[in-house]
C-alpha cells in the first residue's frame, strides 16, 4: 500500500476537493436528516482528512480512523500545525470499536470498498456500534463500477501541483473474476518533488457490490435505515437528484445516506 504510506503526495493528488463546501453540505444534510444533535464526528478511512480539519475548525470533536500509521501521523502533525484537536484511531474499518460513540460518521472518496460481502457486513456492525441512535452515516462515491459495462477496464489520470511538488495520479480498474465480482484496483502516483522523481502504487482486489445487492446487505445487517442515494459533484450532493434519475455517466459521484436505528 505504498500510495497510502505517502500522505503528503496523496493529499496533493486529491487536493482538488473543497472541504469547506463538503462540510457545508454535511451540515445541511445533518439539519435535514439527523435525529440527534451532532457534536462528535468520525471520518472512516480518513487519510489526511481535509474534512476533519475543517470540522475541528468549526468546533466539532473529531476522530480519524485509518489502518495506516503514516496517514494518522500526518493528520496529527497537520492538526498541531493548524492548532486543531483531532483524535486518531489506528484500526481496520472492518473491525473496530471506539472508546466513545459519535453522532455522525462519514467515509469519502470511494473508500467504502471491501474484499467480501462478509467484510462489508462486519464494517456495518463496527460502524453501528460506534454511532449513536438517530445519527447519520454518509458514504461518498460508492460503487465506481456501477455501470452497464462494468466488466470494461477503466482508467483516468489527472495532475496537481502544490509548493513545487507535481503529482500525476492514475486510477485504473479491471475485472479479475466475473462470477465472484472481483475487480483489481490500481492507483499510481508519479511524483516530481523539486526534481526528485518517484512512483508509488497501490493495487488491491475488491469485491464489487451492485446497487440492489448493497440495499439487501444493509437490510440484512438491520442496524441502519437506508435514507437514499443521490448524485452530486466532488463537493456537493443534490437531494433532488436520486440515482434512479441520474444518467449512467454521472453515477460515480454519489452519496448514500444511512441512519442508525
Ligand atoms: C481512497 S483513500 C481516502 C482518504 C480520505 N478519506 C480522502 O477522502 O481522501 C483510502 C484510505 O483508506 C485507508 N484504508 C485502506 N484500507 C483500510 C482499512 N481496511 N481500514 C481502515 N482504513 C483503510 C488508507 O490508508 C487510505 O488512507
Q: Which of 4, 49, 90, 96 to mutate to test the pocket of ligand 1 (most atoms within 8 A of CB)?
A: 4
The helix or strand, by DSSP H or E, that contains position 193, with its residue range, turns out to be: strand 182-193
Evaluate whether 47 touches 4 at the Cβ level (below 8 Å). Answer: yes
Dist. CA 92 → ligand 1 center (Å): 10
Q: Is the pLDDT of residue 145 over 80?
A: no
Residue 107 alpha carbon, nearest atom of ligand 1: 6
Task: Kindly state whether residues 138 and 256 are assigned to the same domain.
Answer: yes
Evaluate whether 230 touches 243 at the Cβ level (below 8 Å). Answer: yes
Q: Which of 4, 45, 48 to mutate to test the pocket of ligand 1 (most atoms within 8 A of CB)?
A: 45
Task: Kindly state whether residues 17 and 86 are assigned to the same domain.
Answer: yes
Dist. CA 48 → ligand 1 center (Å): 9
Q: Which residues contact residue 190 at a Cβ distance below 8 angstroms, ignoring those fewer than 6 apart? A: 167, 168, 169, 170, 197, 198, 199
Dist. CA 201 → ligand 1 center (Å): 14
Task: Kindly state whether residues 99 and 48 are assigned to the same domain.
Answer: yes
The total number of structural domains in the chain stands at 2
Residue 182 counted as domain residue:
yes
Evaluate whether 187 touches 201 at the Cβ level (below 8 Å). Answer: yes
Give one word for 140, left, alpha or beta, with left for phi > 0 and alpha for psi -120 to 50.
beta
Give tens-digit pLDDT for 105-120. 999 999 999 999 999 9
Q: Is the pLDDT of residue 146 over 90?
A: no
Does the beta carbon of 67 sit less than 6 angstroms from any atom of ligand 1? yes
Does the beta carbon of 187 sit less than 6 angstroms from any atom of ligand 1? no
Task: Kindly state whether residues 47 and 111 are assigned to the same domain.
Answer: yes
Cα separation, 133 vs 109, whole angstroms? 25
Grid cell at residue 10: 496523496
Question: What band does 1 get if pLDDT is binned at 50, 70 and 90?
Answer: low
Which candidate, 200, 226, 34, places its Cα nearest to that of 139?
226
Evaluate whether 251 touches 57 at the Cβ level (below 8 Å). Answer: no
Does the beta carbon of 4 sit less than 6 angstroms from any atom of ligand 1? yes
Q: Is the pLDDT of residue 195 over 70?
A: yes
Q: What is the CATH number of the domain that holds 10?
A: 3.40.50.150
Q: Is the pLDDT of residue 144 over 90?
A: no
Task: Kindly state whether residues 84 and 96 are assigned to the same domain.
Answer: yes
Residue 149 counted as domain residue:
no
Which candidate, 250, 259, 168, 192, places its Cα nearest to that of 222?
259
Global pTM exceeds 0.95: yes
Cα separation, 233 vs 230, whole angstroms? 10
Does the beta carbon of 167 sit less than 6 angstroms from any atom of ligand 1? no
Amino acid at each position: 500500500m505504498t500510495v497510502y504510506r505517502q500522505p503528503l503526495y496523496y493529499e496533493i493528488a486529491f487536493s482538488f476537493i473543497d472541504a469547506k463546501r463538503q462540510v457545508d453540505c454535511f451540515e445541511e444534510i445533518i439539519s435535514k436528516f439527523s435525529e440527534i444533535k451532532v457534536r462528535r464526528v468520525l471520518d472512516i478511512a480518513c487519510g489526511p482528512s481535509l474534512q476533519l480539519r475543517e470540522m475541528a475548525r468549526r468546533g466539532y470533536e473529531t476522530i480519524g480512523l485509518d489502518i495506516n500509521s503514516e496517514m494518522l501521523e500526518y493528520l496529527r502533525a497537520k492538526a498541531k500545525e493548524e492548532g486543531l484537536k483531532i483524535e486518531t484511531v489506528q484500526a481496520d474499518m472492518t473491525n473496530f470499536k471506539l472508546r466513545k460513540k459519535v453522532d455522525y460518521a462519514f467515509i469519502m472518496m470511494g473508500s467504502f470498498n471491501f474484499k467480501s460481502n462478509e467484510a462489508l457486513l462486519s464494517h456495518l456492525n463496527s460502524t453501528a456500534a460506534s454511532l449513536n441512535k438517530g445519527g447519520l452515516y454518509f458514504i461518498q462515491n460508492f460503487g465506481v463500477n456501477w455501470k452497464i459495462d462494468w466488466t470494461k477496464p477503466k482508467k483516468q489520470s489527472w495532475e496537481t501541483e502544490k509548493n513545487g511538488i507535481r503529482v500525476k495520479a492514475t486510477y485504473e480498474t479491471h475485472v479479475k473474476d466475473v462470477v465472484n465480482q472481483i475487480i483489481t484496483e490500481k492507483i499510481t502516483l508519479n511524483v516530481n518533488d523539486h526534481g526528485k522523481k518517484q512512483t508509488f502504487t497501490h493495487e488491491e482486489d475488491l469485491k464489487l457490490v451492485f446497487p440492489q445487492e448493497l440495499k439487501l446487505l444493509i437490510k440484512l445487517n438491520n442496524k441502519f435505515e437506508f435514507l437514499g442515494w443521490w448524485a452530486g459533484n466532488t463537493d456537493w450532493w443534490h437531494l433532488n437528484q436520486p440515482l434512479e434519475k441520474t444518467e449512467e455517466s454521472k453515477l460515480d459521484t454519489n452519496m448514500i445516506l444511512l441512519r442508525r436505528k
